[in-house]
Structure 1
Amino acid sequence: MSSSTSRTPLIDMIKGMACATIVWHHLAFYGPMSDIAHPLAPSLIAWLYDYGRMAVQVFLVLGGYLAAASLAPQGFARFDHAGTAIAKRFVRLVVPYAVALMLAVVVAALVRPWMEHHSVPDQPTLSQLLANALLLQDIVGEGALSAGVWYVAIDFQLFALTVLMLAGVRALPVRWVQHHAAALSQGLVLLVTAASLWVFNRIAGLDMWALYFFGAYGLGMLAYWAVRAPQAQAWVCLMVLLVGAALAVDFRARIAVAAVTALCLVVAMRSARMRSFSGVSPLVKLGQMSYSVFLVHFAVCLLVNAVVSHLWPASPALNAVGMLLAFGLSLAAGRLLYLRVERHVPSWSTALRWQLGLVGAGMLVVITSNWA
């Protein structure tokens, strides 16, 4: 099977559904519109609040699947230089990320004086701005400037760790290793996936590091290699054994969701009919711009929350309409960010400019607030 199986309308459609679920999870989680609208659909809002976050596992698995497709479709590293691959990934992530965080900082400053709610971020500090710009906020103990930005940092860590693992196998000076690079690389991914599922993912204090999440990411990589294999049974058995042992030791619903996602990917992507499925067009388009929607939706939802809950603080119906409006505007803002920023190939100078813009905008907000 060709590497074209790595990206199909089906993959984008799955990403679109996961993205929509995350946006609705945050709408239910952060309020206050969801608090006011809760009586209208208590079960639905409670489900989104408690379980909507599970869609992150879908993104982790898909991230691993697509990483295997781009970095090691045959099982061994196909990129030239590890540093270059990591740097390109960082730049592609942080340019739309910095733009979205600038918007979040400005919106938070606008609504902070007249909306007292835990969902409104505190006034940023210089160290917080720098940490967020460099994807280090959780590692150095600084607060996030927007919801979900932890995932961007983890995605970058996972990608970098994968690149270094694959490059490390390739760099081994033994000739025998070079002839078995694919098996050794895949074996290393399998080993680290097992270590994550069985050990690291059970330690909550490690949730700012890639090893905590590599279980789901690694399952995605294994799923890709299973799709490309002449026979998938061995790969599927390995995945089932890995996850079965992990859940027997410590059942975690998030790992079960990741496993089901990975195994369903194998079944679907080995089917010619499913690979040729054109998908549901709105979901496919949402999947293509899901990263931009994920980045920008918090600022949009925060602004709509502030306006609607301020004007109609006691109307469940109007606040429910406000939630729908926030979702629709999030998609519109995400599409704009995707078309104007994410879709263009960025450079280091572009990334630096937007990161400096984020820090500058944050400090301007602080100075303006202090003067006021």
Structure 2
Amino acid sequence: MTSPHSRTPLIDMIKGVACATIVWHHLAFYGPMSDIAQPLAPDLMAWLYDYGRMAVQVFLVLGGYLAAASLAPQGLARFDSAGQQITRRFVRLVGPYSVALLLAVLVAALVGNWMDHPSVPGAPGLGQLVANALLLQDIVGEEALSAGVWYVAIDFQLFAGSVLLLALVRAMCGEGRVRHAAWLGRALVVVGTAMSLLVFNREPQLDMWALYFFGAYGLGMMACWAVQAPRAGGWMAAIAVLGTAALALDFRARIAVALVTALALAWALRSPRWRQWQGFAPLVRLGQMSYSVFLVHFPVCLLVNAVVSHIWPQAPEWNALGMLAAFALSLVAGQQLYARVERHVPTWTSALRWQAGLVGTGMLVAVTSSLWA
């Protein structure tokens, strides 16, 4: 169950734009096509390389907004079991995630012998496969099997932490103190957001933990409560004060993006006009399948990079067209992953099957690679 404003065409459209930006950032970041095509549009390539990743902040804010809308639209946890919520989230994430990583392992093995480039992952080890399957790769120091998968682990940490916090507050306050529990839950989120923005997000060594990213996520939760409130002035002011204080203490472009996103989201979704707007249909559809596109685009781009760089190693125009083709094929592959895996109601059995397939396929690839070496 979600609140009336938790999912709108506007939110899906924003997710679609952010998803497309991330795909193009990775196309610019992971060559060799972008290296060869760079002279055709050097400023655009530089912008995508340096700033395209800022779209992650948009996803963090939206993630916080949707989590608050689903879990506690009025600040009080409205779910029965914290364990059930966390389990459901994990299973929902790892189904398409495991499929995409399996494809990444297979594509890396396929192109590894005919494209010598740093963007091609090596043959995985058992520890690396298990860590990636369990969303623990950065925590235990294992290399990710695909670009951007760190975000999936962080998303799960942020969601699980929010569930546990809200459940703990409700348990402490009891059923008879509903208003107190709602106030305390929201207050603790504000405090956590402030601590993240002012302290934890300034420590790069913490970037494998939710504490580092909770500032943007918490701003999204606060934006949700601004939308739900009879009057939004207090919440909007709180968002603005926290974000401005964080930027005054230590200016970070990523926090500026998160702040603007949270304020704009709260303002737009309090407006009946924007809530009812149906958006631009292609971007709305992309937003709906953005998770699948985000997961699967790296192996698709890696494969296209290998083919284009092998056939036209020094042709800027063909490599630029290759980048366009990689983007288009990423959307096609994402739509298939969304339709065949993500849209289906996940179960522990299906999630474990895909995780086992990932680990088994990865070990087969590793053994085969060692025999051919």
TM normalised by structure 2 equals 0.98
Q: What is residue 192 of structure 1 aligned with on the other side? A: 192
How far, CA to CA, are the matches of 1:173 and 1:327 in structure 2?
50
Query: Is the contact between residue 173 and residue 180 of structure 2 (CA under 8 Å) also seen in structure 1?
Result: no
Q: What is residue 32 of structure 2 aligned with on the other side? A: 32
Residues 98-109 of structure 1 mapped to structure 2, 5 A cutoff: 98-109=98-109
Residues 248-263 of structure 1 mapped to structure 2, 5 A cutoff: 248-263=248-263
- Per the TM alignment, residue 6 of structure 1 is displaced from its structure 2 partner at its CA by 1.0
Residues 209-288 of structure 1 mapped to structure 2, 5 A cutoff: 209-288=209-288
Q: What is residue 364 of structure 1 aligned with on the other side? A: 364
Q: What is residue 42 of structure 1 aligned with on the other side? A: 42
CA root-mean-square deviation: 1.0
Q: What is residue 345 of structure 1 aligned with on the other side? A: 345
Report the residue type matching 2:303 in the other structure: L
Q: What is residue 126 of structure 2 aligned with on the other side? A: 126
Structure 2 SS opposite 1:76: coil
- Per the TM alignment, residue 213 of structure 1 is displaced from its structure 2 partner at its CA by 0.1
How far, CA to CA, are the matches of 1:89 and 1:81 in structure 2?
13
Query: Is the contact between residue 6 and residue 66 of structure 2 (CA under 8 Å) also seen in structure 1?
Result: yes
Q: What is residue 291 of structure 1 aligned with on the other side? A: 291
Q: Deviations over 1:315-360 (max 9, x none)?
A: 0000000000000000000000000000001100111111000000
How far, CA to CA, are the matches of 2:12 and 2:350 in structure 1?
27
Q: Aligned in 2, Cα 1:130/1:266: closer, same or farther, shift over 3 Å?
A: same
> Is residue 160 of structure 2 the alignment partner of residue 171 of structure 1?
no
Report the residue type matching 1:27 in the other structure: L
Report the residue type matching 1:143 in the other structure: E
Q: What is residue 54 of structure 1 aligned with on the other side? A: 54
Q: Deviations over 1:179-208 (max 9, x none)?
A: 411111000100100000000000000000
- Per the TM alignment, residue 123 of structure 1 is displaced from its structure 2 partner at its CA by 1.0
How far, CA to CA, are the matches of 1:192 and 1:167 in structure 2?
16
How far, CA to CA, are the matches of 2:120 and 2:188 in structure 1?
43
- Per the TM alignment, residue 176 of structure 1 is displaced from its structure 2 partner at its CA by 7.0
- Per the TM alignment, residue 174 of structure 1 is displaced from its structure 2 partner at its CA by 5.9
Query: Is the contact between residue 15 and residue 290 of structure 2 (CA under 8 Å) also seen in structure 1?
Result: yes
Residues 147-186 of structure 1 mapped to structure 2, 5 A cutoff: 147-172=147-172, 177-186=177-186
Q: What is residue 201 of structure 1 aligned with on the other side? A: 201
Query: Is the contact between residue 6 and residue 69 of structure 1 (CA under 8 Å) also seen in structure 2?
Result: yes
Unaligned runs of 5+ in 1: none
Query: Is the contact between residue 135 and residue 153 of structure 1 (CA under 8 Å) also seen in structure 2?
Result: yes
Report the residue type matching 2:283 in the other structure: L
How far, CA to CA, are the matches of 1:106 and 1:369 in structure 2?
11
4+ residue runs of structure 1 moved beyond 2 angstroms? 173-179
Query: Is the contact between residue 177 and residue 184 of structure 1 (CA under 8 Å) also seen in structure 2?
Result: no
How far, CA to CA, are the matches of 1:174 and 1:292 in structure 2?
39
Q: What is residue 94 of structure 1 aligned with on the other side? A: 94
How far, CA to CA, are the matches of 1:158 and 1:295 in structure 2?
18
Q: What is residue 322 of structure 1 aligned with on the other side? A: 322
How far, CA to CA, are the matches of 1:21 and 1:77 in structure 2?
34
Query: Is the contact between residue 58 and residue 258 of structure 2 (CA under 8 Å) also seen in structure 1?
Result: yes
- Per the TM alignment, residue 173 of structure 1 is displaced from its structure 2 partner at its CA by 5.1
How far, CA to CA, are the matches of 1:187 and 1:177 in structure 2?
15
Report the residue type matching 1:161 in the other structure: G
How far, CA to CA, are the matches of 1:25 and 1:133 in structure 2?
25
Q: Deviations over 1:139-167 (max 9, x none)?
A: 00000000000000000000000000000
Structure 2 SS opposite 1:6: coil
TM normalised by structure 1 equals 0.98
How far, CA to CA, are the matches of 2:274 and 2:106 in structure 1?
43
How far, CA to CA, are the matches of 1:244 and 1:54 in structure 2?
18
How far, CA to CA, are the matches of 1:222 and 1:18 in structure 2?
20
Query: Is the contact between residue 76 and residue 178 of structure 2 (CA under 8 Å) also seen in structure 1?
Result: no
Query: Is the contact between residue 28 and residue 49 of structure 2 (CA under 8 Å) also seen in structure 1?
Result: yes
Structure 1 SS opposite 2:35: helix
- Per the TM alignment, residue 367 of structure 1 is displaced from its structure 2 partner at its CA by 1.3
Query: Is the contact between residue 243 and residue 256 of structure 1 (CA under 8 Å) also seen in structure 2?
Result: yes
Q: What is residue 5 of structure 2 aligned with on the other side? A: 5
How far, CA to CA, are the matches of 1:152 and 1:240 in structure 2?
27
Query: Is the contact between residue 173 and residue 181 of structure 2 (CA under 8 Å) also seen in structure 1?
Result: no
- Per the TM alignment, residue 285 of structure 1 is displaced from its structure 2 partner at its CA by 0.2
- Per the TM alignment, residue 369 of structure 1 is displaced from its structure 2 partner at its CA by 1.4
Report the residue type matching 2:335 in the other structure: R
Report the residue type matching 1:137 in the other structure: Q
How far, CA to CA, are the matches of 1:11 and 1:77 in structure 2?
23
Q: Percent identity?
A: 73
- Per the TM alignment, residue 75 of structure 1 is displaced from its structure 2 partner at its CA by 1.1
- Per the TM alignment, residue 178 of structure 1 is displaced from its structure 2 partner at its CA by 3.9
How far, CA to CA, are the matches of 1:26 and 1:126 in structure 2?
26
Structure 1 SS opposite 2:4: helix
- Per the TM alignment, residue 274 of structure 1 is displaced from its structure 2 partner at its CA by 0.6
Q: What is residue 116 of structure 2 aligned with on the other side? A: 116
Unaligned runs of 5+ in 2: none
Q: Aligned in 2, Cα 1:320/1:88: closer, same or farther, shift over 3 Å?
A: same
